[in-house]
Amino acid sequence: MYQQIQDCKRLTGNKKKTAERLGLARGTVQKFWNMSEQEYQAYCRRASIRRHRFDAYRKEIITLIELNASDGEQIHGSSIYDVLEERHGVLPGTERTLRNYVQALKDTGAVELKKQKPLRRPQEESKLGDQCQIDFGEYRISRGRKAYIYAAVLAASRARYVAVQDHPFRTVEVIRHTLDAFRYFGGRPRVLVIDQDKLMTVSENSGEIRHTADFEHFIQEQDLAVWLCRKADPQSKGKVENAVKFVKTSFFSARTFDSVQDIHEPLSTWLTRRANGKIHQATGRIPARVLELEERKTLRTIRSSIYDQHVGIPRDTRKANSKGMIAFAGNSFSVPQKYAERTVAVQSGPVRLRIYDMDSGSELCSHPLPEGKGHNIVSEGHRVKRGSKPREVYDKLADRVELPGWKAFLDANLERYQRYWKDQSVHLARIAETASELDILDSAISFCESAECYGAGDLKSAYEHLCESRDTGFPSLLEQARPMISIRTKASSEVAKRGIRYYISALSLVLGVPA
């Protein structure tokens, strides 16, 4: 600093410009401006022997710092000040003065804070067919476009599998890439080594691991154990992390792509030629040869999977009964209540049964496959809960259709069919879901109210007839049928008991046979 001030003095001859150029206070520049070199050296000697307020505690402070540094943690001046104050009472300076003193000790080398690296014990080599490690990465291939990288490595042979896509991974996509990796390796390992990724793991608490639903189904289906890596634990998953880095540096860095679709073919060639075809630095062996001659024999056969996008597993159809249950393999499984008396598609894997909507193909639910037969498997929410009052169910139905007469019709239906309200509510829910023509549904409700027929079947028939009349252009026959409907609905529910003479006399009148 002294030399810089003297150099600027010769160049500019101006204290203000010197202070601005060197970023120093004007008082500091003034202090050294006219000082000769001999005077500066004398100043340094005096400064080196100048006593500090905390020099009396020097050894004690250094000991505190070194003891704390042995754990690799940062020590704070306020903590040192508190300890000294506790031991000696009133101190000769403030906390800030002590912090400056501690910093001076560090700057002069009186104390060194050595960061201890965690002890890394060499790991035993994985057994053949034991572990497959998976990890993810990203690489920007062009302006605004990213390639999302999936990498899998067999821990023993170091055989690699890599795939890319143009959007962030979803759980089902991770599962499908993993199946593709198994197919590439020629079988499935016993253990999957993964990160605590939200695609696969919901939570982990002292070894109690909760996986996402699809990933849990997948590991059960393929009989896979899972090794969940902890944070900053390269020993557990370092092989695949190195593989992701290797893909970025060896494959992507010297290549340019306009889209992810352009990557697949050259990536496959590179995977065979370079990633698995060259000698691996860690093992000194070629991964492809180790896989082919040794490890593939130890891998287990891949089970058929409901997640497999290459091998289409056929879907059967089942019709749910009025209670929302379907029959499959000697057992009964529930579907959402709105699918009662509707046909659904089913697909069975080794451990679970999946149920799909026939129209959209979307998954409705899945159930574990029980051992044996005669079981009823019901998911929570698929059936009306025990103890639910009819009024609560009908109130929910009332909110599903925004028509002025809908709630009144439901009230009348519940009053008339109190004993059969569960069955009626299922049919009414189906009408609320499928009746898309609200104006026609409103007309059907009005007709049913005028004819005093409040059954779900009556409303459905009236709605379908009015839709057919509109589509074909033929006039509606509801008004002509009103008298017969009124007779049917107003008839007494009591069955009249007639004697045999009544029927004999009726037959004699029709056939002319004497009574």
95, two tokens = 């906390």
Q: DSSP class of residue 187?
A: S
pLDDT higher than 60, residue 235: no
243-294 pLDDT, tens digit per residue, is 788 888 888 888 888 888 899 989 988 898 888 988 887 788 899 999 999 9
Q: Give the lowest-confidence range in 289-303, 305-319, 465-479, 499-513.
A: 499-513
Q: Where are the beta strands (DSSP E) in 351-501?
A: 352-357, 363-368, 376-377
For strands 191-194 and 225-228, give the pairing: parallel
CATH number attached to the domain at 131-298:
3.30.420.10
Return the pLDDT at 148. 94
- With H, G, I as helix, E, B as strand and everything else as coil, classify residue 430: helix
Distance between CA atoms of 377 and 354, rounded to whole angstroms? 13
SS3 content of the chain, % helix, strand, coil (to 5): 50, 15, 35
Mean pLDDT for 337-350 is: 83
User: What pLDDT band is residue 337 in, cutting at 50, 70 and 90?
Assistant: confident
User: What pLDDT band is residue 209 in, cutting at 50, 70 and 90?
Assistant: low
111-163 pLDDT, tens digit per residue, is 665 555 544 444 556 788 888 988 889 999 887 789 999 999 998 899 999 99
Burial degree of 463 (CB within 10 A; 0-12, 13-18, 19+): buried
Can you give the residue ranges of every domain in the chain? 2-108, 131-298, 316-377, 390-490
Q: How far is CA 174 from the centre of its chain?
A: 11
Q: In 10 A of CB 128, how many CB atoms? A: 19
Most confident of 294-303, 389-398, 493-502: 294-303
Domain range 316-377, CATH class: mainly beta
Return the pLDDT at 61. 85
Q: Return phi, psi of residue 332, to 5°.
A: -115, 135
Return the pLDDT at 495. 47
236, two tokens = 């557990």
Nearest to 330 by CA among 363, 365, 364, 377: 377
144-158 pLDDT, tens digit per residue, is 789 999 999 998 899
Return the pLDDT at 409. 92
Contacts of 405 (CB under 8 A, 6+ apart): 442, 445, 446, 449
pLDDT higher than 70, residue 103: yes
- Residues 230, 231, 236, 237, CA torsion sign: positive
Q: In 10 A of CB 431, how many CB atoms? A: 19
Return the pLDDT at 488. 56
Contacts 24+ apart (CB under 8 A), 354-358: 354/306, 355/326, 356/315, 358/317
pTM over 0.85: no
pLDDT higher than 90, residue 83: no
